[in-house]
Amino acid sequence: MTEHLGNVLFLCTGNSARSILAESLLNHWSKGAFTGYSAGSFPKGQVHPLAIETLERFGLPTEGLRSKSWDEFAKPGAPDMNYILTVCDQAAGEVCPIWPGHPMQAHWGIPDPAAVTGSPDEQREAFKTAFMTLQSKIQYFLTFRFRELKRAELQDKLRDIGKTR
């Protein structure tokens, strides 16, 4: 059985694309070591169809994914978060709720695939690019020796991931 190392909340403004992709990716790749969640400051109310299509194309789970407000995770009784990761620049600049337990926070900016206009193939390619970028960042995150790193070291590593493309 895999040791559970914590909960990760991926934030984006609309919670319809990037944060949804990240939630599914983390839950898939961590194999139970982490539980990924996603939310938005102004959720769209539905997951972007190309986010679902992209996840399915790569064989990742889509069951239970939904667009929701970050307020769900700031309420009493919500899961305690260990890490809060913003994946869009707008959410990174917004005033966030006070998160119980003082989770580590970092910004991993990813261009918004839902903002891409053009042909359906160009839009699918934007979602694939966001997916691959997030997958790379999450797989690197999962290589950390979480039990051995001091909080400040881990915080630096989380921020460093955000600087990579």
Q: Residue 119: which CATH number?
A: 3.40.50.2300
Residue 39 in tokens: 């939310």
Q: How many domains does the chain have?
A: 1
Half-sphere exposure of 22 (CA within 13 A, CB side): 35
The residues assigned a catalytic role are: 12, 88, 96
The verdict on residue 137 lying in a domain is yes
Q: What is the dihedral of CA 90, 93, 95, 99, to 10 degrees?
A: 90
Q: Tell me whether residue 57 is in a domain.
A: yes
Report the 10 Å Cβ neighbour count for 61: 12
pLDDT for 128: 98
β-sheet bridge partners, residue 69: 40
* AA letter at 141: F
Provide, rounded to the nearest whole percent, the portion of the chain with pLDDT above 70: 93
Residue 88 phi, psi dihedral angles, 5° rounding: -135, 150
pLDDT value, residue 135? 97
Torsion angle, alpha carbons of 45, 50, 56, 61, to 10? -20
In a domain, 1, yes or no: no
pLDDT value, residue 96: 62
Mean pLDDT of the chain: 91
pLDDT attached to residue 90: 61
Q: Express each pLDDT in 6-63 by its tens digit.
A: 999 999 989 999 999 999 999 999 999 999 999 998 999 999 999 999 999 999 999 9
* Domain coverage including residue 92: 6-163
pLDDT band with cut points at 50, 70 and 90 for residue 95: low
pLDDT in tens, 63-73: 999 999 999 99
CA atoms within 13 A on the CB side of 11: 26
β-strand pairing of 34-40 with 83-86: unpaired
The answer as to whether 151 is a domain residue is yes
Whether 28 is covered by a domain: the verdict is yes
Q: Which residues, in sequence order, are CB contacts of 160 under 8 Å at separation 6+? A: none
